[in-house]
Chain A
């Protein structure tokens, strides 16, 4: 079955770079698109960006200058790198699959990884 799992450091210092990994199973990254979505504590969801099945990327313009999404198809992994972290980047970070024949909705999500930005 389709599964996604995020991993990465729970604590990052201000101004540092965040690196997260989304490991997928039950699907091929060459025929599926994966997005990163984050949720600050007690708040709503923010779409960050997507890596398409062809390897192309699109980013939320609000954070585009700080964000990079890449992948290693042989390892079934998608990577997020975001630099110049600030306290407002403290959030739960999710990776999610764009649904097949579900428009732009997300039909499978990882469990999320909590990232705290603090010195």
Chain B
């Protein structure tokens, strides 16, 4: 199985700041990567697919980048509504696997 190592596990930042979350795959996943946002008590919501494509309706302050085994999610101009957990998911190979998550809080 492809292992997804996500960092950091938690993150605290101020409103308006830019934050970056990283995911490293145990092998090349050829941009087969998605990012999700999950608010407490809710189901995950798709933000980014194919490593860098913004899903419909997602604010442009979210962006994804990377290639090979290294990928990142950047959130510009942090807003209060961005408080959530964020997960990466690889879909290059079965079984699909997820990162362990990053909990984002506001300072």
Query: Chain A residues in contact with chain B, CB under 8 A?
Result: 35, 43-47, 58-62, 94, 96, 99, 102-107, 109-112
Contacts and interface: CB of A to CB of B under 8 A. Distances in A.
Nearest to A48: B95
Most buried by A among B53, B55, B96, B99: B96
B91 A109 contact: no
Contact of B49 (A44, A47, A61, A103): A103
Contacts, number: 71
Nearest to A95: B43
Contact of A61 (B42, B95, B100): B95
B43 A103 contact: no
B43 A111 contact: yes
Interface residues of B, number: 25
B91 A104 contact: yes
Contacts of B45: 109
B30 to A, nearest CB: 10
Contacts of A94: 43-44
Contacts of A60: 94-95
Contacts of B101: 44-45
Most buried by B among A46, A60, A105, A109: A105
B32 A103 contact: yes
A66 B53 CA distance: 36
Leading 6 A-B pairs by shortest Cβ distance: A104-B91, A105-B34, A109-B43, A105-B49, A47-B96, A60-B95
